[in-house]
Amino acid sequence: MGKKAKSSRKKIYRRTPSGRVNIYFEKKSKKGKASCALCKSKLAGTKQAKNISKSEKRPSALLAGILCNKCRRVVIEEAIKVREGVKGLKNCDIREIKYIEQALKSF
């Protein structure tokens, strides 16, 4: 591996039991198209290019860049129900709870 390829990676310092510090390089993950955390469909409005600003990489809407539009709507609706006391958080889809909590925080 060339020097340049390594330097672009994130360094991880790990102390070994003997007290020595080893430097690991984080494995480069292949970046695929961003996909929805619930239904795995492709996310609209996301880019993976390196040289663009953060706001260009994903929409700034709540939970955008994590969930697709369909799932996002469902989760936000559930979050509103929870907030209004119509529904308990325990009655929600176990996979959605994480995102519902996230949505609740931003209300």
**Binding interface with Zn ion (CB under 5 A):** 36, 38-39, 68, 71
Min dist. Cβ of residue 74 to Zn ion (A): 8
Q: Is 25 helix (H, G, I), strand (E, B) or coil?
A: strand
- Closest C-alpha among 63, 56, 73 to residue 37: 63
Task: Decide whether 63 or 68 has the Cβ nearer to Zn ion.
Answer: 68
Q: Give least dist CB 40 to Zn ion, A.
A: 7
Q: Kindly state the smallest distance separating residue 6's Cβ from Zn ion, in Å.
A: 36
Residues facing 25 on adjacent strands: 11
Q: How many residues does the chain have?
A: 107
For Zn ion, which is the closer residue by CB, 68 or 103? Answer: 68
Q: Which residue has the tokens 């039991």?
A: 17
Residue 27 CA to residue 72 CA, distance in Å, equals 31
In the bound state with Zn ion, the residue whose beta carbon lies nearer, of 38 and 100, is 38
Least distance from Zn ion to the Cβ atom of residue 39, Å: 3
